[in-house]
Structure 1
Amino acid sequence: MALSLLPTVAGFVLLFTLTSAQSRGDNVEVCTQVDAFGKYCPTTCGIADYLNRYKPAMDKDLNDMEEILDRIANKTTGAAEKVTYMRDSAAQQTKSGSDTYYKKSSDMLNEVVRFEKSIVEQESQIYNLQAVLESNEKRMLDLRQLSIQLEQKCQEPCKDTVEIKTITGKDCQEVANKGAKTSGLYYVKPAKATQQFLVYCEIDSFGRGFTVLQRRRDGSVDFNKDWVQYKQGFGYLSPSDTTEYWLGNEKMHLLSTQSTIPYVLRIELTDWDGNKKYADYAMFKVGPEADMYRLTYAYYFGGDAGDAFGGFDFGDDPSDKSFTSHNGMQFSTSDKDNDKFKGNCAKQDGSGWWMNRCHAAHLNGKYYRGGKYTAKDAGESGFDNGIIWATWHSRWYSMKETTMKMIPTNRVTDGDGQQTGGVKQFGGLGDN
């Protein structure tokens, strides 16, 4: 009975694997990915093309999966009925007192008891199959709901262009000072920049403008890039702020070193339970390429996520904290090793960052869905390569969402436009 279910289950697992492994719609066949910002890809037309291309196949796969689930359910029901029948037969044979059929019934009873033991062992497999059925029925429902949402989205008028606000400035705070009221895409031109470039500005109701440097949302962008890509920036900016990107080390340098008024760097983190925390760093700067885009800040300004940039004592070595401090570290990538480790931290972890030996904070790490991962999941190196903030979660927990953004220190306010001092007042920033 159990063996007869295995081919069906194997086929179901293979079908679901093939369905899950379908390629994305924003690959090079639909969209040419470039490092320059200002182009949002894919457009809503691209999303519609993707849906039209893959939705029929997905619907067919879902229907096939439903048929397989029905067959498994029927076999599971039949198995359960067989168990009940055999048990009833055993009970009837036990009650039989006929001398004529005593020996025959005794032999039959022994056979039934032996078979019943085998059935009991297989009952757990039946229960497991029922659990698989329930789990995959839920996943199928989620897929259908997602399909409906995409279909509704693609019924909206198609937009091949992205709205870029007309106000410009040297950073997002100056854009807000000039009258911008809403968050979105704006061009900025830092003091020493030769040309303007596109950024996403977070503008709150108190007129504070945050220039966003990095976003991690859903793992849709691969952060395993080389030196040039990290220098120029990669990923996609969107007016709805739903995409992932790295603004670029050169742009970060120009933005953070242009003013006599220092900037505050804010790190925002979201875990897989929806909890949110932050960390702030005063007098944040990214050095020039000649200094390998060195990260510096004056001090940890505060926050409830803890000071992971300051290092963390993992308990592996007495020098853990100093070895994992990020202040003063140069930027490293797999093809340009500037860390303090005898190996290449960026190559081992598969992404660029301000590495020491190696890190206690790593927001460009590998995206692990669900958060928890192991050394085995990390691959050949076995090192913690997730999206890590060690002063909140352990090194084997990868964040769901992260943001890096900056704002001039003189815009650290208490919410009514009056400048205040202290960490507590600054803690409300970003809570729009």
Structure 2
Amino acid sequence: MNIRFICVLFILRGFQNNRGISVARENSSSPHCLESGAPILEYITVLKKEINAAEQKHSEVENENAELKKKILEISYLKAENKAKIDNIERLRSANENLRKLLSKFAQQQSNIGRIEGFIIDLMQRQKREIEEAKLNEAKVREDLKDEIKKLRYPMETKPSEIEMSLKKDLKSKIRELETYKAKGNTCSNQMKELNSQVVSYKKDLTTTHTKLTAKTCLLESNSKQLNRTKQRLDLCKERIPKTGCKGLASGIYMIAVNKLDPFSAFCNGDIEGGGWIVIQKQFDGSVDFNRTWTEYREGFGNVGGEFFIGLEKLHSITNSGSFELYMQLGFFNRSFNFAAYDNFSIGSEDEKYELKSLGRFRGTAPNNMNYHLNQKFSTFDQDNDPWVEGNCAITVGGGWWYQTCSLVHFNGKYHNTEVYKKESINWGAAFKSLKSAQMLIRPKSKVC
């Protein structure tokens, strides 16, 4: 609506100007007084095309917003599905734990059955020996009785009444012993029957337990397969869910969400000093032009998998969500590397021209040149925010940076395939010796107890 209103004002103003010209020409009796209408028609045609293009751009932006809302809704669904799958995994783990306890109880029962069977075998052998001994004693008693009867058939000095009494006494004693052995045999027989009954009962329990174990084993196999499928789906969901940062991630490209920003694609470095770094700037082959406008530096540009700049607005939002370290890596044409690291890096907002507010303590193998740019505002060729009154450093050396007058460090300079000494090159130091590669990385500052 604003564009159309402006366009109508321009048309009316142009029409008034052209009309005024026509009147002047009529007063001068010129035959060409009506020729002023043609530019107006051409101007209206151009304005209509611009209006159509603006409306088409507006429609594309609305479509992109709708697609973004749809993706956010998909992420919400994925999070809900992820939670349900995690709950299912916990239930499966609980079922597996119960099954392990049942297996342990079954193993204990088997051990008890083995001990009982050993006890039964020992008892049966002992009872068998006692029965054999009773039989031997019975045979011995019978032999003794036979001997006594034989003695009665022959005359002896002992009186018959004494012999008879002695025999009866021995006979009663032997009968009692025999009854005792028989009672023991009956007791052993009863114990054997009871033990056999227990063995049968244990065998039934063992069969029942084996059946249950077989069913539980099948259930365990089914649960394991389901668990594997759930883990695969969960891993797939985890890949789709944005990470909260680069901590613990191997080097590569990930979707991350920091400080309530919408998820964005970032390159995580897991190799330098324990990893966890978010790469915010990288130059190494000259495939991307870093001499960009203020808007492009604010939004970011390039390819995350190659050369790129993350964008000042993202960098401001990230570094103002907590304490962040800055790591700047310098690569030279002799294949060596230096670095400069700072423990408290942050920049201001766009209203503050993304001022380099803090660097913190320095450590590294390169000189502490970045401190020269502390408290300086960011400048590009179309927005001069440096303190140099005679010109714009971004125009003089090219590329956006936190210039003073102008720079001791310039990671966003022009890439050269060979080593040169030029102000506009990627450099570190007053000699302006060009670098083969340069990258900037940040990560949350580790808490020290």
TM band (smaller chain): 0.3 to 0.5
Q: If you compute each CA radius of gyration, which structure gives the higher value, 1 or 2?
A: 2
TM-score if structure 1 supplies the norm length? Answer: 0.46
TM-score, with length taken from structure 2: 0.45
More relative contact order in 1 or in 2 (CA 8 Å, sep 6+)? 1
